[in-house]
Every structure is written in C-alpha cells, then in structure tokens.
Chains A and B, each alone.
Chain A
Amino acid sequence: MLTTAAAELGRLIAAGETSSVEVTRAHLDQIAATDQRVHAFLHVDTDGALAAAAAIDARIAAGEKLGPLAGVPIAVKDVVTTKGLPTTAGSKILEGWRPPYDATIVERLRNSGLVILGKTNMDEFAMGSSTEYSAYGPTHNPWDLNRIPGGSGGGSSAALAAYQAPLAIGTDTGGSIRQPGAVTGTVGAKPTYGGTSRYGLIAFSSSLDTPGPCARNVEDAALLHAVIAGHDPRDSTSIPAPVPDVVAAARLGASGDLSGVRVGLVKEFSGEGGEPGVMAAYRDAVDALTKLGAEIVEVSCPHFEYALPAYYLIAPSECSSNLARFDGVRFGLRVGDDGRNSLEEVMSATREAGFGPEVKRRIMLGTYALSSGYYDAYYGQAQKVRTLITRDFVAAFEKADVLVSPTTPFVAFPIGSRTSDPYQMYLADLFTIPSNLYGGPAISVPCGLSEGLPVGLQIMGPTMADDRMYRVAAALETVIAPLTPPKL
C-alpha cells in the first residue's frame, strides 16, 4: 500500500476497498519505523490524522461523493500554517507556536478530504538548499542517509521517497520544491506565481514565494495542484483567472505522444554548469522527448546568467523586511526581558537567539542591499535585471512551448560538505531561480541516475500555462524507468 499512487489510493478508498483510516495508519506506521533515520517530520499528528481519516470514512460510508484525493494522507511543509498544529518554519524563534488559523491551501486540503499526517522539516524560513539549516537538525536523503535531501523542502521530498506519505506540500521561492524533488527522485512542481495562494505561508520573499505539490508521479502532482490552486481573495497577488486543467494535461501526456510540442533547450544552461553525470542524464532525457515526437529547438536567454545574483539581492531584501515581524512581541520566543532591558535590546537578543546563521546572513545582506547609497546599485539593479530575464522568457516562448534544463547542477551532496561556504550552497538553485523571477510554472521530474543518485529534468512553462509542463513531464515519465530508492 505504501508504494501505491495517491490517485489509486483515492479510488480504492472511494470504492470501499480500503479505508482512509487503514491507509493513514499504514503511513503513520512507516513514519514511526523510519523517521528516526530520515527525520523528515518535525511534528506528527497521529491522533488528528486518524480522526480526520475516520471522519472521511464516515462520509464515504454515508454515500457522499468526495474528490479524487479524499482520504489520502499528506505531509505539509512546516512553513505553512495549520490551525492548532505546531508550525515553526524550521526556526527556534517559533518553537511551540500553534497558529490560530489555517493557510488557504490547508483549508483546501481539508475541504477536499485530504488527511494531514504532520509537518515536514525544512531549512529555517525556507532559506537553504539542503535542509541542513533547520534549527531542528537535518533531514537525511532516503537514497543515501549521509546525503542531503535538497532544500528548503527536504522534509517533504524525503517523506515521499521514504514512502512515509504519498503526497506533500512544498513552497518554492528559488527552487525549494523542485531541487528537493530532483535529488530525491520525486516530482515537485512550482505553479505560476499567483496561481496558488500565499495566505498562511510564513513569508520569506513575498514576490517569489509559491506553494505547490510534491508527489511520486506526475498525475498525483497534478491532482494535488488542482486541489490547492485557484483565486483567493485573501492574497492580493492571487490571479483571478481559471486554473489550467493540469490533470487533463497530465493524462494527455501519459499517452506518450508529444508530436506538435516544441521543447526549447536553454543554450546558456545546456553546456557547463552541471556535473557530467547530471548533464548526461539531461541529454538522455532530451533524446527521450525527441523520440516521443517533440520538436527540439534551441533558445537563448542571455540574462539567465544574472538570475542568481539578482535573486540573492531581491530575496534577502524582501526577507529582511518580512522577518522584522519576529520581534518577540506577538508570537514565539522572547529573550532578555528582565525589566531593565529596553524593547530594542530585547528584540535584538530575541532575534540573535532565535535565528540561525543563514537567516542572519540573509537579513543582513538584504538590509545592506536596501541601504541608501547601495539601493540603486543592488536592489534597484536587480529589479531591472528581473525585467530582462522576463523578456528572455517571453522571447523564448515565441519559439518553444516549454523550456527544459537540468533541475539542479549536482546530485545530492554529503551532509556538511557545503555549509562552510554559503555561496557554494546558493549554486544549487542556478537553474531553478529564473522561473521564480519571471513567475512562470516549472516542474522537476525524475530523468535518471548519476552515480546511483537521482537526477531531475526541469520543464518550465509560460505564466498561467501550467498544463504544458504537466503534459511533457507525464510523457517523459512513460519512458523513464521508475527510480526506486533502496529499502530503508
């Protein structure tokens, strides 16, 4: 049952061939058996999950027709608020905090009958590419427990690869859904920015943060996408337009025919930049797309090489502002309040004690980039480069329906091997960042192995054409041998 697709679990539960309680209990047992070694979860809600599952079973027994994922368990990244369930964003500053409300996407999960198993580990406030910056210790990649599961959403992707959950929620600011998906051999999709609501996401970089689905296959990801996407009046950047039919697109792609689809190879991402084994798997995937009938075209995006610097100015700038709310007044930790220290001293002591090193680095970097005297050269320039990157995408999508690249330049690296050099860590997001700056959708789908470790292909689409990437990803899935992690 643990290896069964979410779509199939939903069918079996609806048909009464199994129950949500049975499926939920199986996954809770797997978490209990494996999470000592994987550490994908920060909090497991055993009682809540079983109660929610029993309620779904009762509704099905009463003859209610629920959605295709009703009764299926799901893991939720700990940066997403869940009413009454601990939500820390991987930070000590929020240890013990229980949000008084659900994020919109969590509300939609519950309304569609999904069963929340618990909250998954992540780099603190979603800043990182390895989950090593979690204040609660790293998550281990089920493919090799000495290696990172990617980040920031390493917990969600590791939970899938460890068969602890058939579905998970991630958030993607610079690659935090796609890069963990790639290095764990799972599927991760970043929807169009504004296509999924940010209400209830603990904000890192508001103009980039995008919640999205994580799964072990493309159809499951599409089904979850359909549950969480759509306009939300509580998010002022939510797009008031119909959600593309991603489920139909995934099913169309599963027919294995891509004739008439133009796939663009980004010239700037096709040469160097990736490990040889990653680039070889990427080229094999492109060959596979050709055999499926796709037309391959080369496109040039000359400003993509500046995406990483632009991102590391824009995201820290927004983070330095967003994280000002953690001041020891309304929620979370308070340190140094001895009756003599001033408010400012208490705030500074609280933030010093509550934030980890990567968060501090980014807050200071953002504060620097926004300082008068540096603003034009850094933040202002980065916003202009963002315009040029968007123009590169728009021009490329005149020649191609989707663009492809490796998802990340390297396979899962050993835990501890990049933490001393923050910039080396930043390079993990080299290929994923452009879509965040532009706002378009992008998915990572497994495309092979390098040195026995998973490699992902990234498929990028134009804004509000999320269906295209699902079609191409599902087609590729029909010809790539399934990547099965070693038994834990």
Chain B
Amino acid sequence: MAAISRAEVAHLARLSRLAVTDDELDMFAGQLDVILNSIARIGEVTAADIPPTSHSVPLTNVLREDVIVPCLTRAEALAGAPDVAEDRFRVPRILDEEI
C-alpha cells in the first residue's frame, strides 16, 4: 500500500510553499513513498516510556549580558535583498483586496 498519495504530496508542496509542476508531483509521490516505507520501521522500536532527545548538548536558557554590541548597518542588511524601497525590504502585496 502506498504510504503517501499524490494528493497528499500536492498538499505538502502547498504547505512548503513550493509551486511544483505536475511532472514533479509524479516523481516526488513515488520517491517519498519509497522513503517513507523505508523509514516506517522506526515504529518497531518500543519507546513509549523513553524521553525524547531534541539536542545532544545539555544546555538550557543560554543568555548573554544585556549590553549593546555592534550589529549590521542598515545598508549591509539590505545589500543582498532582491528588492529594496525606502531603506526597507520591499515585498509583494500580502492582501487580496485592491488598495
């Protein structure tokens, strides 16, 4: 049985903000199915009472002194942007309505 359907992959692509083509959907659906079937055996491990590990370093709440240190200038921060207007990152419209 397929672990993942073409429609599910299309949904994942939307969630992932990837405007994939139909050909890619066909390819990814098959490949993701193989991958998911191969890694599904992780479910064989009995681990109900085992605490999860998110990170191998036992450090929590790493804070620094609240002092101002040098940072990028505005020009440096904007230098790599695809579009800049009025010293800011210019973005496409985010609302549907005409303004």
> What is A's interface to B at a CB cutoff of 8 Å?
97-101, 193-194, 207, 233, 236-237, 239, 303, 306, 308-310, 312-313, 320, 324, 327-334, 337, 339, 341-349, 351-352, 355, 357, 360-361, 363-365, 367-368, 371, 377-378, 380-388, 390, 421-423, 426, 437-439, 463
Contacts and interface: CB of A to CB of B under 8 A. Distances in A.
Contacts of A330: 77, 80-81, 89
Given A364-B28, A388-B47, A380 B82 contact: no
A253 B20 CA distance: 53
Contact of A363 (B18, B36, B80, B81): B18
A87 B89 CA distance: 21
Contacts of A377: 43
Contacts of A98: 79-80
A462 B17 CA distance: 40
A19 B97 CA distance: 66
Contacts of B40: 309
Contact of B24 (A239, A309, A331, A360): A360
Given A309-B39, A327-B17, A367 B12 contact: yes
Contact of A439 (B12, B57, B62): B57
A387 B94 contact: no
A321 B31 CA distance: 21
A438 B16 contact: no
A62 B63 CA distance: 41
A343 B82 CA distance: 14
B2 interface: no
Which range holds the interface residue count of chain B? 35 or more
Contacts of B83: 334, 337
A358 to B, nearest CB: 10
Contact of B34 (A333, A385, A421): A421
Contacts of A331: 80-82
A342 B43 contact: no
Interface of B: 4, 8-9, 12-21, 24, 27-28, 31-32, 34-36, 38-45, 47, 50-57, 59, 62, 64, 72, 76-77, 79-83, 89, 91-94, 96
A364 B76 contact: no
Given A309-B38, A361-B28, A352 B56 contact: no
A353 B92 CA distance: 17
A329 B89 contact: yes
Interface SS, B side: loop
Nearest to A381: B42
Chain B CB count within 10 A is highest, among A100, A237, A239, for: A100
A207 B12 CA distance: 23
Contacts, number: 174
Contacts of B32: 361, 364-365, 368
Contacts of A357: 24, 27
B82 A352 contact: no
Contacts of A363: 16, 18
A342 B96 contact: yes
Given A343-B91, A352-B19, A368-B32, A306 B53 contact: no
Contacts of B93: 342-343
A183 B18 CA distance: 34
Given A100-B79, A388-B50, 10 more contacts: A237-B59, A239-B57, A334-B82, A342-B92, A342-B93, A346-B92, A348-B18, A352-B19, A367-B15, A380-B52
Contacts of B16: 320, 351, 360, 363-364, 367
Contacts of B12: 364, 367-368
Nearest to B80: A331
B70 to A, nearest CB: 11
Contact of B31 (A233, A355, A361): A361
Contact of B51 (A193, A384, A422): A384
Nearest to A366: B16
A384 B47 contact: yes
A233 B69 CA distance: 12
B82 A333 contact: yes
A343 B94 contact: yes
Contacts of A380: 52
B62 to A, nearest CB: 4
Chain A CB count within 10 A is highest, among B41, B42, B50, for: B42
Contacts of B81: 329-331
Nearest to B50: A384
Chain A CB count within 10 A is highest, among B4, B54, B72, B82, for: B82
A344 B17 contact: yes
Contacts of A421: 34
Contacts of B27: 357
Contacts of B42: 306, 309-310, 313, 378, 381-382, 385
Contacts of B14: 348
Contacts of B4: 368
B17 to A, nearest CB: 5
Nearest to A334: B82
Contacts of B82: 328-329, 331-334, 337
